[in-house]
């Protein structure tokens, strides 16, 4: 059964803690994002090492399975790496729209191999963390915008990013946040 598309504008997590997962973007130092991404990638690899029959089960009609969330987090890491590159290399880029729900269907998240997804997620997390490691000084203030008009600095983009894999660990019941 397809999940209803998520149409929320999650940028509010930059202004207040998430009432669901407890993430507080204000507590994230941008220069620590790379280390957090590495820990989150490790936590997701551990989730994806679970029993395949459990990984593919949706806990309810409005939540993806752990495998589907793992695919999503992998793709978020890839997307944010591209977008961060644009923010560093171009003046105030506008990012193309990304429909996560369409991607999940087209890429058949529910049919992917968890071992492959874990490896790809780890690689994407390492690449993104390395790009954040290279950000220095005034580069944290460089700007970029989503196609819906939401504007970020590299620093706010970093804090916004961390919420996604943290929140989805909460969604799959993976326990305490590794951040």
23 lies in a domain?
A: no
Which residue range is the domain that position 49 belongs to? 29-171
Maximal C-alpha separation, the chain? 47
106 lies in a domain?
A: yes
Domains identified in the chain, total number: 1
Would you say residue 53 has pLDDT above 90? no
Render 58-102 in DSSP notation, one character per residue.
-SSTTS--HHHHHHHHHHHHHHHHHHHHHHHHSSS-EEPP--HHH
132 lies in a domain?
A: yes
Q: For 108-118, what is each residue's pLDDT tens digit?
A: 999 999 999 99
Q: For 116-168, what is each residue's pLDDT tens digit?
A: 999 999 999 999 999 999 999 999 999 999 998 999 999 999 999 999 999 99
Q: What percent of the chain has pLDDT over 70?
A: 93
CATH number, position 53: 1.20.120.450
Tokens encoding 13: 């997590």
Q: Judging by beta carbons within 10 Å of its beta carbon (0-12, 13-18, 19+), is residue 21 exposed, middle or buried?
A: middle
178 lies in a domain?
A: no
Q: Tell me the torsion sign for CA atoms 22, 42, 49, 116.
A: positive
| pTM for the full predicted model | 0.93
Cβ atoms 68, 104 nearer than 8 A = yes
* Torsion (CA) 167, 156, 86, 95 in degrees, nearest 10: 70
- Among 60-64, 94-98, 110-114, the minimum mean pLDDT is found in 60-64
């Amino acid at each position: 059964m397809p999940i209803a598309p998520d149409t929320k504008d999650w940028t509010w997590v930059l202004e207040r803690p998430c009432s669901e997962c407890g993430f507080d973007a204000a507590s994230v130092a941008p220069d620590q994002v790379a280390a957090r991404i590495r820990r989150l990638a490790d936590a997701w690899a551990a989730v994806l090492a679970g029993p395949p029959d459990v990984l593919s089960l949706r806990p309810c009609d409005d939540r993806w399975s752990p495998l589907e969330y793992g695919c999503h987090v992998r793709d978020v890491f890839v997307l944010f790496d591209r977008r961060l590159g644009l923010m560093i290399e171009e003046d105030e880029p506008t990012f193309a729209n990304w429909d996560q729900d369409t991607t999940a269907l087209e890429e058949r998240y529910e049919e992917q191999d968890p071992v492959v997804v874990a490896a790809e997620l780890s690689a994407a997390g390492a690449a993104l963390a390395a790009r954040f490691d290279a950000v220095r000084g005034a580069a944290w203030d460089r700007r970029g915008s989503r196609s819906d008009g939401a504007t970020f600095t590299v620093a706010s983009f970093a804090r916004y990013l961390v919420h996604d894999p943290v929140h989805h660990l909460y969604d799959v019941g993976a326990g305490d946040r590794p951040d």
